[in-house]
A and B are shown apart, each in its own frame.
Chain A
Amino acid sequence: MKKFLAVLLTCVMLLALTACTGSKEEEADYSFADGDQYEYIGGSLNILNWGEYIDPELIEIFEEETGVTVNYTEMTSNEEMLIKLRSPDCVYDMCFPSDYIIEQLIASDMLLELDKSKIPNVKNIEERMYGFTDVFDPGNKYSVPYMWGTVGILYNKTMVDEEVNSWDILWNEKYAGEIWQYDSVRDAIAVSLLRLGYDINTRNPDEVKEAKDELIKQIPLLKGLGTDNIRGSMENGKAALAVIYSGDAFACMDENEDLDYVVPDEGSNVWFDNVVILKSAKNTEAAHAFINFLNDANLAARNTEFIFYSTPNGAAMDLLDEYYTGNETFNPSDETLSRCSVFHDLGDFVNVFNDAWYEFKSNLD
């Protein structure tokens, strides 16, 4: 019995191994487009990033080039990251927070001002990105855009026969039980605020309250509140409509061609995950080199192909094929972006949002 199990287990493992290697297409090109500028640095670099948010191949190449040992840790939310960064024995040199969190980190004086002379590849970043990132990082002194995108509606064309161009459709009773709302306070309330014609960074308690009441009205129509699980559900045609990040939408559309993504006319949120170096960082040399490395046009292109999220790196965009650059989800037009705005850190007013969210959640089940 035991022997049989052992043999079975080995077979399964071997199968899994061959499946992994089999799925890899022809050898990808990981050469430097901006020249090999890397010398031996050594030491270690502690990086905190979102799950599945970098092509692991890049870390290996960086380690080979610079002799730096990379300790890579993953997190699941901005809030978790804040807790880790604020802890007195924080070991991280760099991380990849979202826009409004960066604003907060700058305000609490936790970020190192970047030495752009050590990051020559920032020249690759598209100029139009700075218009947005300037809002939360004035002068773009502390951060370099890493990935970005919009929030919108992913829908299944076989289940939704009308034109999708308004957040209103998420309150349409026709689709009761087939709608995914996003399980995150800022994103869900933003959707409701936008639908009512308000600013996503409003500081008016009445507007937040109205948005919350609308969310409560939406509850009976929801299939559920989700985050990463929305992707599988949509890819498999188990729901008709979902609030989703453009990067996830693009990945879903790659799997299921019945899906389409739209940024509604009322506008939406455009978000950024930027890379920052902490003031407490021990190996700032390696951290700067790593940011430069990530912004090499060719490597950034490989990275974005791996993650499916949009790269702010214009030189990398030039290297990507039509499948990416011609896709409105991956590469939104200026017209779409003109309708979108960035999240601000709300300071103490965030409590009004949190209380509204707590009350909304209490109305579930």
Chain B
Amino acid sequence: MKRRVFAYPYIVWMIIFIAVPMLFIFYYAVNVNGTFTLTKFLATIRDGGKWSTLWLSVVMAFKTTVICLLLGYPIAYILSNMKKSVAGFISVLFFVPMWMNFVLRTYAWQAILEYFLPGLLHLKNGTLTGTEGAVLMVLVYNFLPFMVMPLYNTLSKLDKSLLEASRDLGAGSLQTFTRVVLPLSVPGIVSGITMVFIPAITAFTVPALIGNGKYNLYGNEIELAFKTLSGQGDYAVGSTLSIILLVCVLVSTIIMNRVDKDQQEGGKLW
């Protein structure tokens, strides 16, 4: 009972920095210049919901997640099979860039894609910023560690005797991988997907810095709505767009949790 006291600061923190801002979003979505009205909210959902950009963001997040998984799984698998000390050292190298601020890293990519790579590849007049591929690449770069981390954790905790047993029972290395390692690493995969997909769908800095203001995702639409319309005291459009994105994040979290739970209850997925 007494231990609960220690949770209070955290609860207060959550109320101030999570619950209250959320309430503000809902408040401003249905409040135009001090009067309560649903018209702006409904109008925004009906014809200003930026559905095509939302779809673009979802597709982008999906691509980012798939590429991160395809790249991250082998990395994590190789790392987990290395000697602990070597693996530790390599994973430190892997995470060193993360000590640097996210925005700074993205700025670095802006310079690489704008000047360095085009120079190296002798692209005439061309730069690589402002394209979908560039945004995707930088998203993958930024989120890859979030995929590798949970995968590496899961795979390194895998009981090696299970693998030996599988080999003893006559499975080849491929079969051991597909029928033992892969199913057992599903919790890692799921949390990796969650940790990449959700930040990717709400990506804002990367398209803002790499997209040249031309390639925008949903986060940028929200910024734009606040920036251009808030001068008129209109926070409703921006807030409504934020709510739409919040719902998307919520839905994906629920799906992920469902998959995770199913897995724990007997691995129905596989």
Interface residues of A (CB under 8 A from B): 79, 159, 178, 183, 185, 219, 222-226, 229, 232-233, 236-238, 240, 350-351, 354-355, 357-358, 361-362, 364-365
The CA-CA distance from A226 to B118 in the complex, in Å, is 19
The CA-CA distance from A225 to B212 in the complex, in Å, is 6
Q: How far is the CB of A123 from chain B (nearest CB, A)?
A: 38
B215 A361 Cβ-Cβ under 8 A:
no
Residue among A79, A223, A361 making CB contact with B212, cutoff 8 Å: A223
Which stretch, B29-37, B197-205, B221-229, touches the partner chain A?
Answer: B221-229
Neighbouring B residues of A354 by C-beta, 8 Å: 228-229, 231-232
* CB nearest to A219 among chain B residues: B214
B231 A79 Cβ-Cβ under 8 A:
yes
Given contacts A224-B129, A225-B214, contact A79 B114 (CB under 8 A): no
Q: How large is the interface on B (under 10, 10 to 19, 20 to 34, 35 or more residues)?
A: 20 to 34
How many interface contacts (CB-CB < 8 Å) are there between A and B?
Answer: 67
What are 10 of the A-B contact pairs (CB < 8 Å)?
Answer: A183-B213, A223-B127, A224-B213, A225-B213, A238-B114, A238-B115, A354-B229, A358-B229, A365-B214, A365-B215
The CA-CA distance from A159 to B221 in the complex, in Å, is 33
The CA-CA distance from A236 to B112 in the complex, in Å, is 13
* CB nearest to B221 among chain A residues: A362
Asked whether B50 is an interface residue with its Cβ less than 8 Å from the other chain, the reply is yes
* CB nearest to A222 among chain B residues: B214
The CA-CA distance from A48 to B51 in the complex, in Å, is 39
Given contacts A225-B212, A365-B56, A365-B215, contact A232 B228 (CB under 8 A): no
A358 B129 Cβ-Cβ under 8 A:
no
Neighbouring A residues of B216 by C-beta, 8 Å: 361, 364-365
Asked whether B130 is an interface residue with its Cβ less than 8 Å from the other chain, the reply is yes
Interface residues of B (CB under 8 A from A): 50, 53, 56, 110, 114-115, 118, 125, 127, 129-130, 211-216, 221, 224-225, 227-229, 231-232
Neighbouring B residues of A358 by C-beta, 8 Å: 224-225, 228-229
The CA-CA distance from A178 to B130 in the complex, in Å, is 12
Neighbouring B residues of A183 by C-beta, 8 Å: 213
Given contacts A183-B213, A233-B114, A365-B56, contact A238 B228 (CB under 8 A): no
The CA-CA distance from A365 to B225 in the complex, in Å, is 16
Neighbouring B residues of A178 by C-beta, 8 Å: 125
* CB nearest to B237 among chain A residues: A358
Q: How far is the CB of B40 from chain A (nearest CB, A)?
A: 14
A238 B213 Cβ-Cβ under 8 A:
no
* CB nearest to B50 among chain A residues: A362
**Nearest 6 Cβ contacts at the A-B interface:** A224-B212, A225-B213, A358-B228, A224-B214, A354-B228, A224-B130
Q: How far is the CB of A227 from chain B (nearest CB, A)?
A: 9
The CA-CA distance from A232 to B228 in the complex, in Å, is 26
The CA-CA distance from A302 to B127 in the complex, in Å, is 36
Neighbouring B residues of A229 by C-beta, 8 Å: 110, 212
* CB nearest to B132 among chain A residues: A365
Which of B129, B215, B227, B228 counts the most A-chain CB atoms under 10 A from its CB? B228
Q: How far is the CB of A242 from chain B (nearest CB, A)?
A: 12
Neighbouring B residues of A159 by C-beta, 8 Å: 125
The CA-CA distance from A232 to B225 in the complex, in Å, is 28
B212 A226 Cβ-Cβ under 8 A:
yes
Q: How far is the CB of B236 from chain A (nearest CB, A)?
A: 13
* CB nearest to A77 among chain B residues: B227
B229 A238 Cβ-Cβ under 8 A:
no
A233 B127 Cβ-Cβ under 8 A:
yes
The CA-CA distance from A134 to B61 in the complex, in Å, is 52
The CA-CA distance from A354 to B234 in the complex, in Å, is 11
